[in-house]
Every structure is written in structure tokens, then in C-alpha cells.
Structure 1
Amino acid sequence: MDRSEDRTPPARGVALTAVAWLLQVLGFAVFILMGIGKLAGWEDFAQTFEEIGAGQWLRYFVGVAEVAGAVGLLIPRLSGLAASGLTLVVAGAAVTHLAVLRDSGWALPVVLIVLMGALAWIRRAETASLPSFVRGLLGRD
């Protein structure tokens, strides 16, 4: 079997794998907390989304995206894709804090962009292997 048919992502060093898992667990903790807070309607989140002016539907949408992304971070094959999606979510948050709210709330999203971007890069082989993995599951090889 040549490499193009192999659904197993290439191995990486122990240190880089440990860093990936550290980022995955840290990201899970942050995003599950923030996502649940948005879905539960914690006052700070509800007020922030009110100030944005897009309506509370956006709070629910972002909350679902954060919870789904957090769960995806704990699944190694999906963690790179989840990290990429979460990077987009927090990029939106950083831009919103800078351009719409004009406050200092952009700092945490920028840190999360860097951390989730690093995780997406570390797990890029897993992300690249997803199409062939799914084709294999569907029996379409």
C-alpha cells in the first residue's frame, strides 16, 4: 500500500504530541466553559451579545460552535479541524471586541487564536487524512 492509500496519519515526536494534548485539554476546558456559559445565558455573555446588536441567536450559535469544537478537540483525528474552526470563532470575537465593542476584550481571543492555530498546525496531518478516512468508512476506496 502506498502512502496515498494509507489512512493512518504520520507519527510525530513525543514532545510535539504532548504539546498537542496539552493544547487540546486546555482548549477543551476554556471552550466548554465559555460555550456552556453562552448557552446557559450567563449575564456577562448575554449583555455582551446585546451590546453587539446582532441578537441573542448569535450567542446560541457561538455557544453551540464552542461546545462542539471543545468536544472535537478531545478526538485526535478531529482535533486539528476543531482547532481550525475555533480559531475562526475567536478571530470573530477579537474583531468584534476591537471594531464593535471597542473594548479590551480582544486579548483573550488573540491568545486563543495563537494556541488553537498552533494545535491546528500540529494536527494538520490528521486533518489532511480526514477525507480518505471518511471514504474508507463509507467503503468508497
Structure 2
Amino acid sequence: MSTTSSVSPAPRGRGSNVLSWTLRVLAAAAFLAAGGAKLAGVPMMVEIFQQIGVGQWFRVVTGAVEVIGAVAILVPASAAFGGLLLAVTMFFAALTHLFVIGGSPLPAIILLLITATVSWLHRSSLSAAFRRAG
């Protein structure tokens, strides 16, 4: 019985691989910094989540999601899942900027596009996981 899978979690081709790693490292750096700031209780982050009005527990949860997603996006086997988690997070961050706290949603939209692209580049691992689960 073979333990190898016919579905590769990494994108094919050198160009796709370079693009994937570049986007993954950029996203991981951004989310480790932002998530770490939220978890550390940086005053600016505390103020932003005060404006949102849900409570500081939401800052901690968001910071944890960002740090977990940043680590996941760097691991080839979980890059698609990390990208998807972070893309969904940035979708809601953009909506929060547009409808709750104001300010520019552009950074969240850019990070949404980056993380969604990573997830798309690694979509074969998502498909394989859904086939195994179903």
C-alpha cells in the first residue's frame, strides 16, 4: 500500500512556487506582527477593538486566529487552510472598517487578496481534504 498522494499540496511550476512562497512569507510577516500586537495588548489595538464594541476578548481571539493562520500559511501542507482562514478574517476586517470603525479598508483588502491567492494556489490540498471528509 502506498502512502503517497496523487494530490500535491504545493503549486506546480517554478513560477507558481516562487509566487506562493513570496506571498506566504509576506502574509505571515504581516499577520505575525498584527496578531502579536493584538495579543500583547498594544494600546492602538486595544483602542480599535474598543471602537468595535464587542469587547477585548475579541481582540485576543482575533490575534490568536492571525498568529495561527500565519504559522499555518508557512507550512506547505496547511498553506491552503491558513490562507482561507486569514482571507475570511480579512473579509470581515474590511467590512468592519467600512461599516463600524471607519478608516481605510485597503490594507485588509490587500491582505485578503494575498491570502486568497495563496489558498487558490494550494487549492488541490483543499479539494483532497474535502474528498477525504466527505
TM-score calculated relative to the size of structure 2 = 0.89
Separation (CA, whole Å) in 2 of partners of 1:109 and 1:132:
31
1:45 is matched with 45
Asked whether 1:54 is paired with 2:34, we answer no
Per-residue Cα deviation, 1:80-107 (whole angstroms, up to 9, x for no partner): 1110010010111110011001222x11
**Cα root mean square deviation, aligned:** 2.0
Structure 1 vs Structure 2: percent identity of aligned residues? Answer: 31
The number of equivalent residue pairs is: 130
Aligned equivalents of 1:132, 1:29: Cα separation in 2: 31
Provide the rounded CA distance (Å) in 1 between the counterparts of 2:5 and 2:47: 46
Runs of 4+ residues over 4 Å off in structure 1: 131-134
Give distance in 2, aligned partners of 1:126 and 1:85: 14
Name structure 2 gaps, 5 residues minimum: none
Larger Rg: 1
Aligned residue runs from structure 1 range 124-135, under 5 A: 124-130=123-129
| TM-score normalised over the length of structure 1 | 0.85
Number of the residue aligned with 1:24: 24
Judging changes above 3 Å, is the alpha-carbon distance between structure 1 residues 133 and 22 closer, same or farther for their aligned structure 2 residues? Answer: farther
CA positional deviation for 1:124: 0.4
Quick one: distance in 2 between partners of 1:86 and 1:93? 10
> Deviation at 1:38?
0.2
